[in-house]
């Protein structure tokens, strides 16, 4: 009896709860927060498989993504029950997601028509080059005045164009008006609100602003942009604010998570915008850096979009309610951050886990002059150079895997320094400290290195799940839910850890200058149009430097034979 009393009184004390689905590039999570204290009560995480069917291609299975969400909800509900927390106290659910990743499905069968093409994917490089070559002065910023973005493989429009041109099922579904396009948020919300039986086809302004089809000034799909890419507007989701009730959850009652049926999905933010909200960066000038698969630095610029002169993106930060103004951000995007850890683990096998990377790097405390530019998907901000490829330079016989581990961590920090420098130049007001979040921030050596390389303090909140928290805040604050106040005086105080710079600025500048030199070496590596041999395989001559090297070597051999009198 006493146990029951204690459990029920504990439930009353908790007050309303808000959940968040956090669907990232490498994993899916479902998290439940107390709306009054922002405390994380329970969560579950499932890894997502990525497939690489060809060089530069990155795909994920839309059904696996959806299944991972169901599994995370199921397991979290089981954990809440074990904790004597009443699931019916969950009043709203928010969604946050990997942005730009592109899906097309059949609205009549509910089936995906192809794998999700992940934001990192490079298959559209030749399409991008063709589009840029068509613009006046071959200008990759030709559409920036409307979109805030350069023409790049990164964004959804070119991926969607590729699907329409190269996948018969997608082409047929578009022609027969059965196709639906969406980023991951749209796919999840459509499926979770009923799918082919009345599912809601929508997206929010932050995700829409990453497609290159959205006008960041009119805050809607742009007919001219859609015409430019040849995209029929009927396949696009309806654009909504980041905080409103989109629809109600529909889940089979036989599941433990069936208790979530009928709960409104009322928050939706692309993962980087969600982290900005979760870090409470609501004021013009506040910024955060998230270390996930990639690395993303966003600075709130208020209600006016600021166009970058230094290679940053202009993006929609959030619009927290139908009648609320949209706020914008400058964004520095780095393609490879945490992904470099996965590469060292899965491709090279020199570490067994991310914890091992920190130990290896700490054992030497220096890269010993080794620099690693992980331009696996070309270079993103501030260069936007798709022809770049990853390089490791400065190797000597003394270099070992520990030095390479240290160089990999430094690479993440140097890339952050490049986008921070660009942001400081654009805004004219240098950041005096950097707020950070994301999976890699658990690596203390990385955080200290980051402070050393930036020469400013790095501040990490003790609750690392700021992306999910941002989605939960948007959901809980929505009209018709209103269990989470976003008034500055009501926001809970965040405890954090601070890393101060510990090396002198001269050493930091020297290392940064060497890094810049390495970046230059990584550029102009690939040609855009791969040369195929008769079997449809890409020839090694598609790499210009390698082609020159081989041809040059052959000529030298022929010349040598000629000079020595050999036939």
pLDDT at 451: 94
- Looking at the chain, how many residues does it have? 567
At 385, the pLDDT band (50, 70, 90 cuts) reads confident
Half-sphere exposure of 255 (CA within 13 A, CB side): 18
Residue 401 has pLDDT above 80, yes or no: yes
Residue 8 has pLDDT above 70, yes or no: no
Residue 547 has pLDDT above 50, yes or no: no
In the chain, DSSP finds a helix count (H) and a strand count (E) of 17, 23
For the segment 338-348, what is each residue's pLDDT rounded down to a tens digit? 888 889 988 98
Report the distance separating Cα 300 and Cα 564, nearest Å: 69
At 36, the pLDDT band (50, 70, 90 cuts) reads confident
Residue 75: CB atoms within 10 A of its CB come to: 18
81, 116, 353, 413 from 59: Cα distances, Å? 35, 6, 23, 27
Report the distance separating Cα 363 and Cα 341, nearest Å: 17
At 4, the pLDDT band (50, 70, 90 cuts) reads very low
In order of their start, the domains of the chain are: 286-520 (3.30.420.40)
Residue 1 has pLDDT above 80, yes or no: no
Residue 554 has pLDDT above 50, yes or no: no
Report the distance separating Cα 328 and Cα 69, nearest Å: 29
Q: Which residues 6+ apart lie within 8 Å of 563 measured at CB?
A: none
Beta bridge mates, 461: 496
Q: 477 near 486, Cβ under 8 Å?
A: yes
pLDDT at 559: 44
For the segment 144-178, what is each residue's pLDDT rounded down to a tens digit? 999 999 999 999 999 999 999 999 999 999 999 99
Range 39-46 average pLDDT: 93
Max mean pLDDT among 22-26, 279-283, 458-462 falls in 22-26
Q: Which residues 6+ apart lie within 8 Å of 359 measured at CB?
A: none
Q: 447 near 434, Cβ under 8 Å?
A: no
Pick from 81, 78, 92, 93: nearest CA to 11: 81
At 256, the pLDDT band (50, 70, 90 cuts) reads low
pLDDT at 13: 57
pLDDT at 254: 65
The packing angle between helices 466-476 and 271-278, to 10°, is 80
At 14, the pLDDT band (50, 70, 90 cuts) reads confident
Instruction: For the chain, give the mean pLDDT.
Output: 87
For the segment 64-118, what is each residue's pLDDT rounded down to a tens digit? 999 999 999 999 999 998 999 988 899 999 999 999 999 999 999 999 999 999 9
Residue 43 has pLDDT above 90, yes or no: yes
For the segment 196-236, what is each residue's pLDDT rounded down to a tens digit? 999 999 999 999 999 999 999 999 999 999 999 999 999 99
Q: What percent of the chain has pLDDT over 70?
A: 89
Residue 418 has pLDDT above 50, yes or no: yes
Report the distance separating Cα 216 and Cα 314, nearest Å: 9
Residue 299 has pLDDT above 60, yes or no: yes
């Amino acid at each position: 009896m006493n146990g029951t009393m204690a459990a029920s009184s504990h439930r009353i004390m908790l007050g309303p709860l808000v959940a968040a689905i956090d669907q990232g590039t490498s994993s899916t999570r479902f998290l439940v927060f107390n709306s009054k204290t922002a405390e994380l009560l329970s969560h579950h995480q499932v890894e997502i498989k990525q497939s690489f069917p060809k060089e530069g291609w990155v795909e994920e299975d839309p059904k696996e993504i959806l299944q991972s969400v169901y599994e995370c909800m199921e397991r979290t509900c089981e954990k809440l029950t074990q904790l004597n927390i009443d699931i019916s106290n969950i009043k709203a659910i928010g969604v946050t997601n990997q942005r730009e990743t592109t899906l097309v499905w059949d609205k009549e069968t509910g089936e995906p028509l192809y794998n999700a093409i992940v934001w990192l994917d490079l298959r559209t490089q030749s399409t991008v080059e063709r589009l840029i070559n068509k613009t006046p002065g071959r200008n990759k910023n030709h559409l920036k005045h409307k979109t805030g973005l350069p023409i790049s493989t990164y964004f959804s429009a070119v991926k969607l164009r590729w699907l329409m041109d190269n996948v018969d099922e997608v082409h047929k579904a578009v022609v027969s008006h059965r196709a639906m396009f969406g980023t991951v948020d749209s796919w999840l919300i459509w499926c979770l609100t009923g799918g082919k039986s009345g599912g809601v086809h929508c997206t929010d302004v932050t995700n829409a602003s990453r497609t290159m089809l959205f006008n960041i000034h009119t805050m809607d799909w742009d007919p001219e942009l859609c015409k430019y890419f040849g995209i029929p507007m009927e396949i696009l989701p309806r654009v909504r604010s980041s905080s409103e009730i989109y629809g109600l959850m529909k889940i089979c009652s036989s599941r433990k998570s069936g208790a979530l049926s009928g709960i409104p999905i009322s928050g939706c933010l692309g993962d980087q915008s969600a982290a900005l909200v979760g870090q409470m960066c609501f004021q013009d000038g506040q910024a955060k850096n998230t270390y996930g698969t990639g690395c993303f630095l966003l600075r709130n610029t208020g209600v006016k979009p600021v166009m970058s002169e230094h290679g940053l993106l202009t993006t929609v930060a959030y619009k927290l309610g139908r009648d609320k103004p949209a706020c914008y951000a400058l964004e520095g995007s780095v393609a490879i951050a945490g992904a470099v850890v996965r590469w060292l683990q899965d491709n090279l096998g020199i570490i067994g886990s991310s914890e091992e990377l920190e130990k290896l790097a700490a054992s030497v405390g220096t890269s010993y002059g080794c620099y690693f530019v992980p331009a696996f998907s070309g270079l993103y901000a501030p260069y936007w150079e798709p022809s770049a490829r990853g390089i490791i330079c400065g190797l000597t016989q003394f270099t070992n895997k520990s030095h390479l581990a240290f160089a990999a961590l430094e690479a993440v920090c140097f890339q952050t320094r490049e986008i921070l420098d660009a942001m400081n130049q654009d805004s004219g007001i240098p950041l005096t400290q950097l707020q950070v979040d994301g999976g890699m921030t658990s690596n203390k050596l990385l955080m200290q290195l980051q402070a050393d390389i930036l020469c400013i303090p790095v501040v990490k909140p003790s609750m690392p799940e700021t992306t999910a928290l941002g989605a939960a805040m948007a959901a809980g604050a929505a009209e018709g839910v209103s269990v989470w106040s976003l008034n500055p005086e009501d926001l809970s105080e965040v405890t954090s850890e601070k890393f101060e710079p510990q090396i002198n600025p001269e050493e930091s500048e020297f290392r940064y200058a060497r890094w810049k030199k390495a970046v230059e070496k990584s550029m102009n590596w690939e040609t855009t149009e791969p040369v195929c041999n008769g079997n449809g395989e890409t020839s090694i001559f598609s790499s210009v430097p390698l082609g020159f090297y081989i041809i040059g070597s052959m000529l030298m051999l022929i010349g040598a034979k000629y000079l020595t009198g050999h036939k």
